[in-house]
Structure 1
Amino acid sequence: MPEPDGHLFDEFVTTRRPALIRTAYLLTGHAEDAEDLVQTTLIKVVPKWGKIQDNPEPYVRKVLAREATTRWRARRWRETSVEHLPDRAAAGPSLAWNVTVRDALLRLPPRQRAVIVLRFYDDLTERETAATLGIAIGTVKSQTSDALARLRTLIPDLAADGSSVAGLRG
């Protein structure tokens, strides 16, 4: 096993943290939870750094997705859904669409949400998504199909205006 290189870890965190936070935000729906999720993920990755430092991205994404699911399971009985979100200041022309898609993503089961985020937001292939989540490619396909069908019912404009879930990047 290679000796862990702390410099490589620092470099990875510096360069990949913004992307990890964006992914975590889509998985959790809250900026504070996303920060916590990334921090917890990085803490869990440190002991394995010597083994993964040559290609850490897939392993870090796997830990991130699994930790998001674990957190969701632990919190789901304590949270209360509300019909309307509090007013927020507009950050740009696509804010309403981003909020709509984010809210719809949060209504998906954790695995479907993870598949959609990894496939359409992080641009992973079906094979990469399956490897990241530790599931079969067929499961990725069925979860994607089910999630997209659900999103189409939650966001009728999704199919009508040609927009996609990946439109959150803007």
Structure 2
Amino acid sequence: MTRPPSRRDREFEEFVLAAWPRLRRAAYLLSHDSHEAEDLVQTALARSYARWSSVRHDGAYSYVHRALVNAYIDTTRRRRPVPTGADLDGVLVEAPRVEDRSELVDLLAPLTPRERAIVVWRYYLDTPEKDVAHRLGVSPGTVRSTASRALARLRDADAEREETQP
């Protein structure tokens, strides 16, 4: 016999239903992989559910975002970098384009995982610099300089794209 869901369970379920699309989008911007994005959101939600009774209602979204980025950082630490976009002779070749990618995802693609995490965390999730630094285990100056370099790379890529379009 199953017991009826508790108030905590109902609140969490309501939160998940409301927040899922935005969490999924943030995870996709970080990982550039729809399957990995699903896994990241599920991992973040599982970690958040375990502590849901201590999460403030007004800070729930921020708490789960933090868990999402932490889950992403954990996966990047476990992976070995795999070279992409180069053939056997070391000549750069264009990576195949996926038709349903948004312009934002295309722009973020050339960034390193750390740059992508900082840009998404700072500008997409609108997180204060100090919090980003704390979560990534770096200084606020590193966040500023990395964000500055990443934004410059994004501007250059956008300008290059505009020059090549008719």
Deviation at 1:136, TM superposition (A): 4.7
Contact 2:107-2:158 within 8 A present in 1 as well: no
Query: 2:160 & 2:14 partners in 1: Cα distance?
Result: 38
Runs of 4+ in structure 1 over 4 Å off: 130-136, 158-161
Please give the per-residue CA displacement for 1:66-106, whole angstroms capped at 9, x wherever unaligned: 111111222234x3413333353367xxx4x34530312xx
Mapping 1:13-162, distance limit 5 Å:
13-54=16-57, 55-77=59-81, 79-82=82-85, 83-89=93-99, 95=102, 97-104=103-110, 107-108=111-112, 110-127=113-130, 129-130=132-133, 133=136, 136-153=139-156, 155=157, 157=159
Answer yes or no: is the 8 Å Cα contact 1:116–1:144 preserved in 2: yes
Cα 1:87–1:129, aligned 2, differ >3 Å: closer, same or farther?
closer
Q: Structure 1 residues 101, 87: closer, same or farther in 2, change over 3 A?
A: closer
- The TM-score normalised by the length of structure 2 is 0.72
**CA-atom RMSD, angstroms?**
3.0
Other-structure match for 2:13: 10
Report the secondary structure of 1:149's partner residue: helix
Which structure ranks higher in relative contact order (CA pairs < 8 Å, sequence separation ≥ 6)?
Answer: 1
The percentage of aligned residue pairs carrying the same residue is: 34
> Number of aligned pairs?
150
Unaligned runs of 5+ in 1: 162-170
The two structures have a TM-score, normalised by structure 1, of 0.71
Gaps of 5+ in 2: 1-5, 86-92
